Structure 1
Amino acid sequence: MIDIVNYEERQIQIIGLANRVADELLRALAARGRATLVVPGGTTSPDFLRELSTKRLVWEKIDTFVCADQFVPESDARSNVGMVRRELLQNHAAKCNLHSFWSAYNSAQDQALKLGRSIEQHLPIDVCVLGMGLDMHTASLLPGAKDLQTALRDEERRNVVCIEAANCATPRLTLTAPSLRRARNLHLLITGRAKRMALGRALKINSVKQAPIKAVMQVDNPLNVHFAA
């Protein structure tokens, strides 16, 4: 189930989503004393993260994770955690509790298991914001990737999986579809006609393996799609 919110322009989209996420985090903090936030990587998210950093919240009580990352140090330009640290951890969000995916001492597989165990205490996610690729992937749930099925199935009961794909130079760690779609508030941030068309294709495809974004549409609460051309 999806609920599409259309914005006249991208700046209005960014402000609208940041305001909504801030309100949801505020309610989570009031209800439970802490909150869990999941944010996307990619090129669409920096503007959103910078806007979100201006919101007055008790950021030291907000545990923040990226939905997926390449298994590289944060200093690497490919690191989503590194990008989030630069873009979000400023202004009022300077004290945000951002969790790293990288370890110099573990393999990618071992780090996925360790991170999956440690994230358990922060679930279910209070607010989850995702992006989507033109190939209809979200997080690092990549069509055709090794271990994709493991990352899609509830039966595995794993929160983080190591994903390897033919076109990826390094392994990726990704939150699994079950951990993402159980979020109390679930959002998808997309821009441009090409992404809107890709979402339309995903809605018509029956196979989650071909269109992994469908894995987070199969929820009781709606996937809130925030779109600007």
Structure 2
Amino acid sequence: MKLIEYPDAEMMMIDLANVLAGELEQCLLSHDRASFAVPGGTTPGPIFDVLCGAKHIDWARVDVMLTDERRVPEDHERSNTRLIRERLLVDAAAAAHYVNYIPEDDAGLATKADALRPHLPVSVMLLGMGADMHTASIFPNSPDLDHALTTDQPLAFVQPPDGLEPRVTLSANVLKGAMSRHIVIKGADKRAALEAAQKVSPQEAPIAAVLAGSTVHWAEG
């Protein structure tokens, strides 16, 4: 794991957006297409705001996917898909192809997984981390934790321990297989969680499953 500290969050978001843009551009120099996995939530929005205007990227050759999503309609206020449609898949990045792997029902997961496989391994991945040390939708204390951590399938259904909407997540196998992986976190609480995660198992801290080989970007606030 490589840790990069920034003097403030604004600088971190701009610098990280530029790093991601550079990696996507570099990938496209040697591959026909690049896959780009991103999280939802509040943290990555400013990164998307910078990245979407990167006109030097051939966005028509980029396949964008979420690292996880709530099983809610796309226009729902808690939808990650809504977030990236409003803040990432706009401006120059509107030309990107969105890979929607959210099944309409439980029976559709295998079909969506098959459609996702041609986009793997993920070329460039951005992850977040909660103060509880979850990443994507792989949560400690979830009844689906072991399955999400160990399945060979690219997707997993997860019921979060908070009892809110069930989710679909990229499995730990897919997260670990990314060609380039960045984790972005803010605040003293998440820095403490990161340090704790390095000392325990993925069952206690799912983020621990992907720290090896990752670059972690942190700012105080």
Q: TM-score, structure 1 length as denominator?
A: 0.92
Q: What is the CA distance between 1:62 and its match in structure 2?
A: 0.5
Does the Cα contact within 8 Å between 2:101 and 2:113 map onto a contact in 1? no
Instruction: Establish whether residue 123 from structure 1 lines up as the match of residue 120 from structure 2.
Output: yes
With over 3 angstroms needed to count, the CA separation of the structure-2 counterparts of 1:188 and 1:140, relative to structure 1, is same
3-state SS, counterpart of residue 198 of structure 2: helix
Q: What is the CA distance between 1:191 and its match in structure 2?
A: 0.7
**5+ long unaligned stretches in structure 1:** none
Q: What is the CA distance between 1:54 and its match in structure 2?
A: 1.4
RMSD: 1.2
Q: What is the CA distance between 1:200 and its match in structure 2?
A: 0.7
Does the Cα contact within 8 Å between 2:99 and 2:116 map onto a contact in 1? no
Q: Summarize deviations over 1:108-136 as a string: whole Å, max 9, x none.
A: x3333222211100011000000000000
**5+ long unaligned stretches in structure 2:** none
Match of 1:216, as an amino acid? V
Instruction: Establish whether residue 188 from structure 1 lines up as the match of residue 187 from structure 2.
Output: no
Match of 2:209, as an amino acid? A
Match in the other structure for 1:68: 68
Aligned match for 1:112, one of 109, 114, 124: 109
Does the Cα contact within 8 Å between 1:101 and 1:111 map onto a contact in 2? no
Does the Cα contact within 8 Å between 1:136 and 1:213 map onto a contact in 2? yes
3-state SS, counterpart of residue 128 of structure 1: strand
Q: What is the CA distance between 1:61 and its match in structure 2?
A: 1.0
Does the Cα contact within 8 Å between 1:163 and 1:174 map onto a contact in 2? yes
Match in the other structure for 2:170: 175
Instruction: Establish whether residue 133 from structure 1 lines up as the match of residue 124 from structure 2.
Output: no
Q: Summarize deviations over 1:1-44 as a string: whole Å, max 9, x none.
A: x1001111111101111111111101111111100000011110
Distance 1:96 1:204 in 2: 39
Q: For 1:13-162, list aligned pairs within 5 A.
A: 13-56=12-55, 57-103=57-103, 106-107=104-105, 109-153=106-150, 156-162=151-157
Distance 1:70 1:120 in 2: 21
Q: What is the CA distance between 1:100 and its match in structure 2?
A: 2.3
Match in the other structure for 1:215: 209
Match of 1:202, as an amino acid? A
Match of 2:53, as an amino acid? T
Distance 1:122 1:135 in 2: 29
Q: Summarize deviations over 1:42-67 as a string: whole Å, max 9, x none.
A: 11011111111011211111001110
Does the Cα contact within 8 Å between 1:38 and 1:64 map onto a contact in 2? yes
Match of 1:183, as an amino acid? A
With over 3 angstroms needed to count, the CA separation of the structure-2 counterparts of 1:102 and 1:123, relative to structure 1, is closer
Does the Cα contact within 8 Å between 2:129 and 2:183 map onto a contact in 1? yes
Match in the other structure for 1:3: 2
Q: How many residues align?
A: 219
Match of 1:16, as an amino acid? D
Distance 1:168 1:39 in 2: 24
Q: What is the CA distance between 1:184 and its match in structure 2?
A: 0.7
Q: What is the CA distance between 1:169 and its match in structure 2?
A: 2.3
Moved more, 160-169 or 48-57: 160-169
